[in-house]
């Protein structure tokens, strides 16, 4: 089975090439300031978080292309940071365009869902005066929101390998997206299994991140259930988040490429 084969290959590739974790570690360290500031200055942490998010819009394509190139090389033997830089530069424009297209589609779908939920909320609040018509509007908007959410899930599911298609198979932005759709459609069962593994492992990691984030976030004294952390303790929690994120990010970077290679070669 493709998923099991990729799961077997991934730890071996990472063991041979721990350097794959280095770019992931750098990205995680870039988020360290906001993790520390969250407990000592929440407002400043929000500003820093927004600034980092804007930077990541243009950093993510380079990082994605570089890690995919390193992962592919690691699965075949040895890799190095020069591969990360070379593949990041050579595929940057194509991955950036595809990434922005995906962000645009997600924005449109999110906006439609938001409007439907907003109008549905007003209709619900005025349901008593609208009567059956109001409830009908709510039902229609509920269906619209559900369709949009499902469309988002299907879209993300179909285009999830666009980066691999661009970096490993030399496609352009649009063709990379189309190729990802074709690969998923031709390997639907295997991709569902892969996605299930990603969701389970990602969910467990997300739960860990959430607990650590809760621990480092300030709480009002009247509802605080956790002790307030000192700056040193906040730094310790942030470093744990960085370490966990580095391990999970490195694993998924290689696992995604190992799976893609398995179903396309």
Q: Report pLDDT digits (tens) over 240-264.
A: 888 889 999 999 999 999 999 999 9
Which of 4-8, 60-64, 73-77, 201-205 has the least mean pLDDT? 201-205
Mean pLDDT for 84-90 is 96
Q: What confidence score (pLDDT) does residue 257 get?
A: 97
Quick one: which of 252, 258, 250 has its CA closest to 17? 250
| Each residue's pLDDT tens digit, 165-192 | 999 999 999 999 999 999 999 999 999 9
pTM of the model: 0.85
Q: What confidence score (pLDDT) does residue 227 get?
A: 57
- What average pLDDT is seen over the chain? 85
Long-range contacts of 188-193 (CB under 8 A, 24+ apart): 190/1, 190/2, 190/3, 190/259, 190/263, 191/157, 191/263, 193/1, 193/2, 193/3
Q: Which burial class, exposed, middle or buried, applies to 256 when counting CB atoms under 10 A from its CB (0-12, 13-18, 19+)?
A: buried
Confidence of residue 4 (pLDDT cuts 50, 70, 90): very high
Quick one: which of 184, 215, 202 has its CA closest to 247? 202
């Amino acid at each position: 089975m493709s998923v099991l084969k990729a799961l077997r290959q991934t730890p071996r590739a990472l063991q041979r090439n721990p350097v794959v974790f280095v770019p992931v570690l750098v990205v995680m360290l870039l988020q360290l300031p906001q993790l520390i500031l969250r407990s000592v200055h929440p407002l400043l942490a929000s500003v820093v978080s927004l600034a980092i998010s804007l930077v990541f819009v243009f950093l993510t394509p380079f990082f994605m292309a570089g890690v995919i190139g390193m992962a592919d090389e690691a699965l075949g033997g040895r890799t190095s940071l020069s591969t990360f830089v070379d593949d990041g530069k050579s595929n940057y424009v194509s991955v950036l365009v595809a990434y922005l297209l995906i962000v645009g589609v997600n924005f449109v779908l999110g906006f439609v869902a938001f409007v439907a939920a907003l109008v549905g909320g007003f209709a619900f609040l005025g349901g008593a005066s609208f009567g059956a018509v109001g409830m009908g509007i709510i039902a229609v908007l509920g269906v619209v929101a559900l369709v949009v959410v499902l469309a988002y899930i299907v879209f993300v599911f179909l285009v999830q390998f666009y980066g691999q298609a661009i970096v490993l198979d030399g496609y352009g932005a649009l063709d990379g997206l189309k190729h990802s759709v074709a690969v998923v459609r031709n390997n639907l069962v295997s991709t569902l299994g892969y996605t299930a593994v990603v969701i389970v492992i990602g969910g467990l990691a997300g739960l860990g991140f959430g607990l650590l984030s809760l621990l480092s976030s300030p709480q009002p004294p009247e509802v605080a259930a956790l002790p307030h952390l000192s700056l040193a303790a906040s730094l310790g929690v942030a470093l744990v988040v960085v370490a966990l994120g580095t391990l999970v990010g490195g694993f998924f970077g290689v696992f995604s490429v190992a799976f893609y290679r398995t179903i396309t070669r």
